[in-house]
Amino acid sequence: MKMRALIIDDEEFARKNLQIMLEEFCPEIEVIGEASGKEQAKAIIESSKPDVIFLDIRMPSGAEGFELLEEVENKDFLVVFVTAFKDYALRAFNASAVYYVLKPIDIDDLRSAVDKLVEAKKIFSDDPQNFVTYFKSLKNLSQSLLSNRPNNRIAISHTRGLKIIEDDTITHLEASGNCTTIYFEDGTRYLDTRTLKIYEHILDPSKFFRIHKSHIINLNRLVEYINEDGHFAVLKGGLRIPVARNRVTDFVKMLKE
């Protein structure tokens, strides 16, 4: 069954262009309508109940798209942000585990977002409670973007939905092939399908440092740096994690500063 989609953008050309791209390259999506503003979009969402909305978050102000998500009563749809935001905002998007495509829209990026939507729809349909966690993640994203401050909450996708964590609870992260194992202060760990490089961009650089191609540490957990018989960062509890030779200079400089 196709996913029913609503396109929300204040620019008519942008709406029509996205609709054409979805119809041509994404047969899993059926566009059921379009809206140019918040009130029109709310009415269509409440009457037509789309499975997904493609939302321009500059519509026309930076806050209006997020206000729409806050005001809709029945939050049982997924969101793809269509945005011109870059740099810092991409870290916020990824930290919230949301789907987004950048303007101008690239076909491969759109296809990738739709593939993730289809997979997510199966998971969310099995347990509607996932939408509660999902929209909490979107609220964290809006607060982060609108305040232009890093978000200390990270959403992690898993086979049953989403898990939201506080970044302060992370002690360190380790590459596991194309995945990342996240270690927490309570001794638990979690395997996420995102790479360590993605986490390097997601995490607040004032709190986290990549000391090795396979390791990122929480600097608030660091108690010592040792440079005998190799180079090691020592975390609370005595755990030693190797520091790569090509990272030593930057690491020591950062510590001194």
DSSP-derived 3-state class of residue 96: coil
pLDDT band at 248 (very low <50, low <70, confident <90, very high): very high
Residue-range domain boundaries for the chain: 3-151, 157-256
Provide the pLDDT for residue 142: 85
State mean pLDDT over 94-116: 88
Amino acid of residue 4: R
pLDDT above 70 (res 92): yes
Provide the pLDDT for residue 169: 95
Q: What is the DSSP letter of 168?
A: G
Provide the pLDDT for residue 21: 97
pLDDT above 90 (res 88): no
pLDDT above 80 (res 128): no
Q: Indicate if 157-256 has the same CATH topology as 3-151.
A: no
- The structure's pTM equals 0.72
pLDDT band at 43 (very low <50, low <70, confident <90, very high): very high
Per-residue pLDDT tens over the stretch 220-244 = 999 999 998 899 999 999 999 999 9
Provide the pLDDT for residue 159: 67
| CB count in 10 Å sphere of residue 65 | 26
pLDDT above 80 (res 87): no
The more confident residue out of 150 and 27 is 27
**Which of the listed CATH numbers 3.40.640.10, 2.60.120.620, 3.40.50.10860, 3.40.50.2300 matches domain 3-151?**
3.40.50.2300
Domain range 157-256, CATH architecture:
Beta Barrel (2.40)
Provide the pLDDT for residue 205: 87
Strand partners, 190: 182
The more confident residue out of 146 and 224 is 224
Provide the pLDDT for residue 27: 95
Task: Specify the DSSP element, H or E, that contains 107.
Answer: helix 107-126
Cα separation, 188 vs 157, whole angstroms:
17
pLDDT above 90 (res 181): yes
Provide the pLDDT for residue 47: 94
Provide the pLDDT for residue 61: 59
Per-residue pLDDT tens over the stretch 201-215 = 888 888 999 999 999
pLDDT above 90 (res 15): yes
DSSP secondary structure of 169-237:
GEEEEEEETTEEEEEETTS-EEEESS-HHHHHHHS-TTTEEEEETTEEEEGGGEEEEE-SSS-EEEETT
pLDDT above 70 (res 179): yes
Hey, what are 219's tokens? 């600097």
State mean pLDDT over 175-179: 91
Q: What is the DSSP letter of 27?
A: T
